[in-house]
């Protein structure tokens, strides 16, 4: 079943007659085409892709969609109204989480249909990844994995965090990434206690942790991984904290399976850290869904109400961050199965001490 068919079938029990997709990720999910602008409208009889001259040639290769050119002579609003009239669309769903107030008001004033919220309809469809989507995420994971091993031999004392971030991005692009899932997080020494610290001109030195959180995009789908390594040597305290984080992550991985509440996966990791007395040093969720967006459903946190389903792809990324000393995070992506999960990242998680 194509994604267009999934959307059309899912609309049968919704309150809306059609859905308007404006976000790049939802447009790509529906059409398979990546564009910086455009509009997709899907109704019970099919779908239309509206785009400008820059993408019209590529758009005409899309299967299953009517492709319409928007220009100064006929705007996207006029063309949408023609479709609304022709298909007798009365209620049109919009992506309330992807649309600005200004954009909503423009469409509301321009379109001859009652606008309603899609209320997570697309998110529910996208939360289950089929084999094609899984393979695309795996491709992005493999690029990130290989790039991590690419840079290990060149990491040395005297480099800056920014140097390493640049090397990571270059290696991922060189290996075929479309772009980055997010700006790489590369922090070292006392700065590694900042979970989302940005790479700086700080020079890495012996006896420090170096945390690298990075990912790329392949065929539209994201990867996300974190590895923490040590430079020169690691103190006993550093080794103990690293092992604690690793055991917490392994506990989360062991818990993850279809039918398991996402909050239980979070608790499995959090319990290990709390029992060791470091609960105040782990202030973020254990994980999140990954797909066309780097952060999507389901959320793996203490407050999550979601139940894991076969086909979910989630991150498992507990960490301990000791202010003024150092931080450790280890992260892999997991593909949820009926009996457990498959770890998509293959890079070693044993503590590496680089010369």
* Ordered per-residue pLDDT tens for the chain, 355 residues: 899 999 999 998 999 999 999 999 999 999 999 988 899 999 989 999 999 999 999 989 999 999 999 987 888 999 999 999 999 999 999 999 888 999 999 999 999 999 999 999 999 999 999 999 999 999 999 999 999 999 999 999 999 999 999 999 999 999 999 999 999 999 999 999 999 999 999 999 999 999 999 999 999 999 999 999 999 999 999 999 999 999 999 999 999 999 999 999 999 999 999 999 999 999 999 999 999 999 999 999 999 999 999 999 999 999 999 999 999 999 999 999 999 999 999 999 999 999 8
The reply to whether omega before 226 is within 30° of 0 (cis) is: no
Q: What is the pLDDT of residue 295?
A: 97
Query: Domains, the chain, ranges and CATH?
Result: 3-125 (3.40.350.10), 131-354 (3.90.230.10)
- Give the C-alpha separation, 202 to 204, whole Å: 6
Q: Is the pTM of this model over 0.75?
A: yes
Q: What is the pLDDT of residue 51?
A: 93
Three-state secondary structure call for residue 9: helix
Q: What is the pLDDT of residue 1?
A: 87
- Give the C-alpha separation, 183 to 198, whole Å: 8
Alpha-carbon torsion, ordered 212, 129, 131, 225, to 10 deg:
10
Exposure b/e, 168-197, CB count within 10 A at least 16 = b: bbebbeebebbebbbebbbbbbbbbbebeb
Q: What is the pLDDT of residue 115?
A: 96
Q: What is the pLDDT of residue 20?
A: 98
Q: What is the pLDDT of residue 74?
A: 85
Distance from CA of residue 207 to its chain's centroid? 32
Helices (H), the chain: 3-10, 24-31, 56-59, 76-86, 101-110, 121-126, 131-151, 161-174, 236-255, 262-275
Of the candidates 107, 87, 101, the one whose C-alpha atom is nearest the C-alpha of residue 16 is 87
Three-state secondary structure call for residue 124: helix
């Amino acid at each position: 079943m194509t994604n267009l068919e999934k959307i059309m079938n899912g609309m049968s029990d919704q309150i809306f007659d059609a859905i308007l997709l404006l976000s790049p990720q939802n447009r790509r999910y529906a059409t398979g085409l990546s564009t910086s602008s455009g509009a997709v409208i899907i109704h019970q009889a099919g779908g239309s892709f509206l785009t400008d001259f820059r993408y019209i040639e590529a758009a005409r290769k899309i299967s299953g969609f009517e492709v319409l050119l928007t220009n100064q002579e006929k705007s996207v609003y006029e063309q949408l109204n023609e479709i609304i009239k022709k298909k007798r669309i009365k209620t049109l769903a919009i992506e309330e989480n992807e649309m600005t107030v200004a954009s909503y008001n423009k469409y509301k004033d321009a379109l001859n249909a009652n606008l309603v919220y899609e209320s997570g309809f697309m998110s529910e469809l996208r939360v289950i990844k089929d084999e094609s989507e899984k393979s695309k995420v795996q491709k992005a994971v493999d690029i990130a994995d290989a790039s991590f091993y690419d840079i290990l031999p060149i990491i040395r004392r005297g480099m800056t965090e920014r140097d390493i971030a640049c090397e990571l991005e270059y290696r991922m692009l060189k290996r075929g990434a479309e772009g980055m899932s997010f700006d790489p997080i590369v922090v070292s020494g006392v700065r590694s206690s900042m979970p989302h610290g940005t790479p700086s001109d700080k020079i890495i030195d012996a006896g420090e942790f170096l945390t690298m959180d990075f990912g790329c995009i392949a065929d539209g789908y994201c990867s996300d991984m974190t590895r923490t390594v040590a430079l020169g040597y690691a103190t006993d305290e550093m080794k103990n904290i690293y092992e604690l984080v690793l055991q917490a992550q392994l506990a989360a991985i062991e818990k993850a399976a279809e039918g398991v509440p996402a909050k239980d996966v979070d608790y499995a990791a959090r319990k290990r850290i709390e029992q060791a007395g470091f609960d105040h040093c782990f202030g973020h969720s254990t994980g999140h869904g990954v797909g066309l967006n780097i952060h999507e459903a389901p959320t793996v946190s203490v407050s999550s109400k979601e139940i894991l389903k076969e086909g979910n792809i989630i991150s498992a990324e507990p960490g301990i961050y000791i202010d003024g000393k150092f931080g450790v995070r280890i992260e892999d992506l997991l593909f949820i199965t009926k009996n457990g999960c498959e770890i998509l990242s293959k890079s070693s998680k044993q503590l590496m001490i680089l010369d």
